[in-house]
Chains A and B, each alone.
Chain A
């Protein structure tokens, strides 16, 4: 699949069966900066369609830079192959040798010039894994949010983008994703998470939020998405009555 989000950013995703009649995205994003071709994440190891789509988008030239928001699967499936082909690989981990020895480190909360435009790497206010970073492309205004701001989706809506009605992402799909992938929300004070999340996002002029495992959200609908997400967080955190309940959830 390939969906153009902005003039220079394409969503090149793959979809996996997440059980219970749901799909989950394992997304890769392609950026044409004008100077270079950049890929955000490398997809799962068994996925080959992404490489074919990248070849189509680059006219066979391939990408120049690979930016990894995560250093674990399924974000890094083909990272080693890109590195072996001479692609510059930038990794969010500070111990890249743990993951095969390729890649350069990028640092949190820095803004740097890469591939002819500015990128920022905000520390994720919501993540599963310490070795992950968000990525903000100042040229396109796309914020790549890795594990956060994700959702499941039903088969047949794999290429939907939240642009208009809000029906593109249901509350149930957000809730299921949060319960499965970010179950630590059961321990949180929702207002602490919400203030940090909104404050962090307020620092960026977002054209799209581009998650690793969810439906891209147009910037004008981000507040509505966050309202839905925080409603889920308040529900999950509000269910807490002790460890035995956590064991059953």
Chain B
């Protein structure tokens, strides 16, 4: 796998390159929202909740980690849905600082905690790839979806109509997709990948496959993966190996998008 000197085929210089921000809503017997979108999308997320919930309340709001793009609307959502229970990762850090005084009353989740939503059931799991230490991933049993927060993201071309697409709608070549979209994203998002022993994160990925065998991968900053989810989970390993080989200071994203 090589960093590229030329822009990748998906990049359209005439159009915008978009970063993606995803929140995920379960609207079965009980309702749960995973992440809140960033503050500049406050009206979007509140409107979407109104539309999908159609008068129902929100039962749970889960914030994957106390950072603006993921938890920046927690206070506003709780104002609109005051009966919702806020759940955040277990941490010694003062995560309520990031979320505002309106959310001081919250519960904490840790690896292995489960939540029965009636039609759905979620399990929280320790994140092996994170920016803030206090980050939780989540798995949902009915859908087989693994919510990977900052990992498994990608940029996309708005001009090419890639907004709101699944990975299988963006490519039929998984190897090319990961080379062209994941190398830059992950070197940028996880600068500490530059120092890692890749086999350690490979072991973490295998542990997740053994534990959940997911059918969907649902990232916060990329296209959801609904085909060959396990294959895609494993395809991150050579990306990590390449970033580790390159070391810090190699901003691959610049090469990808320049």
A and B are partners in one complex rather than unrelated chains: yes
Residues of chain A touching chain B, judged by Cβ–Cβ distance below 8 Å, are 16, 18-20, 44-46, 71-74, 77, 95, 97-101, 108, 123-130, 180-189, 192-193, 196, 240, 242-244, 246-247
Given contacts A100-B40, A101-B40, A243-B203, contact A184 B192 (CB under 8 A): yes
Residue of A nearest to B70 (CB): A72
| Contact across chains for A247 and B111 when beta carbons are under 8 A apart | yes
Chain B contributes a number of interface residues (CB within 8 A of A) equal to: 43
Q: Considering only CB atoms, which chain A residue lies closest to B69 in the complex?
A: A98
B residues touching A (Cβ–Cβ < 8 Å)?
19, 21, 38-40, 66-69, 72, 92-94, 97-98, 100-101, 111, 126, 128, 130-133, 188-192, 194-197, 200-201, 203-204, 207, 244, 247-249, 251
Minimum CB–CB distance from A133 to chain B (whole Å) comes to 11
A185 to B193, CA, bound (A): 10
Q: 5 shortest A-B CB distances, which residue pairs?
A: A73-B98, A243-B207, A188-B195, A98-B38, A193-B195
Closest to A43 in B: B97
B248 touches A130 (CB 8 A): no
Known: A128-B133, A243-B203. A44 touches B97 (CB 8 A): yes
Contacting residues, chain A, for B97 (C-beta < 8 A): 44-46, 73-74, 77
Choose among B97, B126, B189 the residue with the greatest number of A CB atoms under 10 Å from its CB.
B97
A182 near B196: Cβ-Cβ < 8 Å: no
By a CB distance below 8 angstroms, the chain B residues around A180 are 92-93, 133
- A18–B134 Cα distance when bound, in Å, is 14
CB distance from B132 to the nearest CB of A (A): 6
Which residues of A have CB within 8 Å of B133?
128, 180-183
8 Å CB contact of A98 from B39, B200, B244: B39
Question: Given A72-B68, A242-B203, A98–B192 Cβ distance below 8 Å?
Answer: no
Contact check, B196 vs A189: say whether CB atoms are below 8 A apart. Answer: yes
- Bound CA–CA A71/B94 (angstroms): 16
Contact among A72, A97, A125 with B98 in the assembled complex (CB-CB below 8 Å): A72
Residues on the A chain within 8 Å of B100, using CB: 45
Residues of A within 8 A of B67 (CB): 72-73, 129
- The reply to whether B197 and A188 contact each other, CB–CB distance below 8 Å, is yes
Main secondary structure of the interface of A (DSSP, over half): loop
Q: B128 touching A243 by the CB < 8 A rule? A: yes
User: Smallest CB-CB separation from A244: which chain B residue?
Assistant: B207
Are B68 and A130 in contact (CB-based, < 8 A)? no
State whether B247 touches A240 (Cβ < 8 A).
Answer: no
Bound Cα distance A17, B42 (Å): 31
Q: Given A95-B19, A99-B68, A123-B248, A128 and B126 touching (CB < 8 A)?
A: no
Contact A188–B192 (Cβ < 8 Å): yes
CA A87 to CA B209, docked complex, whole Å? 50
Q: In the bound complex, do residue B196 and residue A98 qualify as a contact, i.e. CB atoms below 8 Å apart? A: no
Give the residues in chain B near A77, CB-CB below 8 Å: 97
Q: In the complex, what residue of chain B is closest to A47 when comparing beta carbons?
A: B97
Not counting A46-B97, A74-B97, a sample of 17 additional A-B residue pairs whose C-beta atoms are within 8 angstroms of each other reads A16-B94, A20-B92, A45-B100, A72-B132, A99-B68, A123-B248, A129-B132, A180-B92, A181-B93, A182-B192, A184-B190, A187-B195, A187-B197, A188-B195, A196-B249, A242-B207, A243-B203
Q: What is the CB-to-nearest-CB distance from A134 to chain B, in angstroms, rounded to a whole number? A: 12
Assess whether A196 is in contact with B19, with CB atoms less than 8 Å apart: no
In the complex, the answer to whether B98 meets A196 with C-beta atoms within 8 Å is no
A130:B39 contact, CB within 8 angstroms: no
Which of chain A's residues have a CB closer than 8 A to the CB of B130? Answer: 184
Provide a sorted-by-A list of 23 A–B residue pairs whose CB atoms are within 8 angstroms. A44-B94, A44-B97, A45-B101, A73-B66, A73-B68, A125-B248, A126-B192, A128-B133, A130-B188, A130-B189, A183-B133, A184-B130, A186-B200, A187-B197, A188-B192, A188-B197, A193-B195, A196-B248, A196-B249, A240-B197, A242-B207, A246-B204, A247-B111
Tell me, in angstroms, the Cα distance from A244 to B130 when the chains sit together: 17
Q: Which residues of A contact B203 (CB under 8 A)?
A: 242-243
Select one of A182, A196, A240 contacting B194, CB under 8 A: A196
Q: List chain B residues, Cβ under 8 A from A193.
A: 195
Residue pair B249, A98 in contact (C-beta under 8 Å):
no
Q: Using CB atoms, name the residue of chain B closest to A200.
A: B248
- In the bound complex, what is the Cα–Cα distance between A126 and B192 (angstroms)? 7
Judge whether A98 and B40 touch: CB under 8 Å.
yes
Chain A positions within 8 Å of B38 at CB level = 98-99
Interchain CA distance A33-B69 in the complex, whole Å: 34
A130 lies within 8 A of B195 (CB): no
A196 touches B94 (CB 8 A): no
For B200, the closest partner residue in chain A by CB is: A187
